[in-house]
Structure 1
Amino acid sequence: MTRKISIGLLIVALAQFLVPLLPVLGLGETIGARAETGARPPELPPGVFFSIWSAVFVTYLVFALLAVLKPTYLEQHLGPPLMLAGLGNVIWMLSAQFLGWPVLDFVLLLPILAFAWMSARRLHLMGGFDGTWRRLNTALLTGLFSGWIAVAVSISVPATYRALAGLGPTDTVWVSLWLALLAAGGLAWFFASRISASVVFFLALAWGLTGVAANNWYLTGMHWLTAVTCLVGAFILWRRVRYGARPALR
């Protein structure tokens, strides 16, 4: 990893903290502001569930500081994909705050997913968590980032579908929910079977699905959608516990 990449990691880490503060200065809208004030779609977790980004940003900053101050093979190997994933995240946040186009936001999430999963894959090939605090921070970072971006992609699928079909947030609620749940299940299967054995990924995914269930129980009042979300989420976790994760090592 070159010095430029390590500096780039630190700049991106700081930008991820600063960009969400732009609306405080009157620049752009808070991410999700439209959804919070209008009719709620069935797949959108309440705002508190997005606080998981704080954990991603903090672990990312720690990783970046280590890459600048005391880099090892770990930072050298994972630095490039994490820098690109973080840069993509900054671009996505700017798009969501200033444009708010669902289709564009969905497209911008895909490279973030690819690079976050690439970092998780590289950590898996290096042996994953080895008992050191440095590896612990990296395992948390790659697992949380990979899991939560999978949630972001999953809940963006129905939003993109409605945008292309000209539907409102409360139209075809069952179709919207199933699109999100099937996307989440498919991504969880692919991650465990092809990318990494990270348990943290599934913790982040479960947090997101819990948010979807809470949204439909407390905010939309569609309790049957809550029940289906809980059943699908329980199945995803049961399958991970029952069959484990067997990503190919090569």
Structure 2
Amino acid sequence: MRNDQGGSITAAMIAVMVAAVLQILTPLLPQLGIGEPIGARSDAVRTLITPAGWAFSIWGALYAGSLAFAIWQLLPAQRGNRLLQRVRWPAAGAFFGNAIWAAHTQVYGLSAISVAIIAWTLVCLLVIYRAGSDVRLSAGERWFVYLPLSALTAWLTVATTVNIAASLRFHGVEGGAAAALIGATIVVVAGLIAAAALVRGRGNLPYAAVFLWALAAIYAAGGQVAGLIAAACAVAALLVVGGAFVGARRVR
């Protein structure tokens, strides 16, 4: 996608940069005595589809990618980039959404409000995902837009479904004997959503890889406790691989 060189810095460019930094800083609030760590809040309402703790280390890469995108879109050569003109405000919305979600979760827990916030964040990212799937990308756009924001979209797709399950438990809605079946159903539905996104996104490999990472973490946790969860992870993984294959064939 061609660039129009030069141009002045806009409010959208600044918003992206500020939000990218804010989403990194907000999870540090407990170190200032405000709220409790997100991990502790998550453990308090852990369900069978809560990923194993090691999965959340991916946030280091997601934050780095978001920050790289925020810096790249500020460069003079990118100020007239037409793809960036379409995705800057949604990106700012997604980064601010991450920051607000972290602040709310640390102070109040994984309530229904946290679901609304993370759903908003995912919608913003899906707008970007679609925009990146509709155009021929330059090398810079692939590395600084397509790769980091597709990865973030995949993680938020899984996180939204996990957040819904955790929120139900937060509000006292327990699955009882049907908990494993409900969790397995949620995982398969998430896999169907991911497969559809991959077909629409021309076999987006960063999205597929991150989604499979999340499924592996769910299998490593709930999948070791309930056979239904393990089976659901396998089905969802097949759906993701199939969606990526079909999407890639559409390009060819």
The two structures have a TM-score, normalised by structure 2, of 0.84
Q: Do residues 11 (structure 1) and 18 (structure 2) align?
A: yes
Aligned to 1:27: 34
In structure 2, C-alpha distance between the alignment counterparts of 1:26 and 1:76, rounded to whole Å: 39
Q: 1:44 to 1:103 in 2, by over 3 A?
A: same
SS in 1 for 2:50: coil
Give, in whole Å, the separation in 1 of the partners of 2:65 and 2:164: 27
Does 2:52 match 1:46? yes
Say whether residues 1:139 and 2:142 are aligned partners. Answer: no
TM-score normalised by L of structure 1: 0.84
Shift of the 171–93 alpha-carbon distance from structure 1 to 2, 3 Å rule, reads farther
* CA distance, structure 1, for counterparts of residue 162 and residue 229 of structure 2: 15
Amino acid at match of 2:121: I
Q: What number of residue pairs does the alignment pair up?
A: 241
Structure 2 letter corresponding to 1:232: V
Distance in 2 between residues matched to 1:22 and 1:97, nearest whole Å? 8
C-alpha RMSD of the superposition: 2.6
C-alpha distance in structure 2 between counterparts of 1:68 and 1:172, whole Å: 50
Gaps of 5+ in 2: 1-7
- For the pair 1:78 / 2:84, whether they are aligned, the reply is no
Pair 196,80 (structure 1): closer, same or farther in 2 beyond 3 Å: farther
Q: Aligned runs of 1:27-176 on 2, under 5 Å?
A: 27-36=34-43, 38=44, 40-70=46-76, 71-72=78-79, 73=81, 74-128=83-137, 130=138, 132-163=139-170, 166-167=173-174, 172-176=178-182
Q: 1:86 to 1:247 in 2, by over 3 A?
A: farther
Identity %: 26
How far the C-alpha of 1:182 sits from its partner, in A, is: 2.9
Residue ranges of structure 1 left out of the alignment (5+ in a row): none
1:177 CA displacement: 1.6
- Asked if 2 retains the 8 angstrom alpha-carbon contact of 1:212 and 1:229, the reply is no
Secondary structure in 1 aligned to 2:121? helix
2:49 and 2:17 mapped to 1: Cα distance? 33
Aligned to 1:189: 195
Counterpart amino acid of residue 23 in structure 1: P
2 CA distance for matches of 1:35 and 1:21? 16
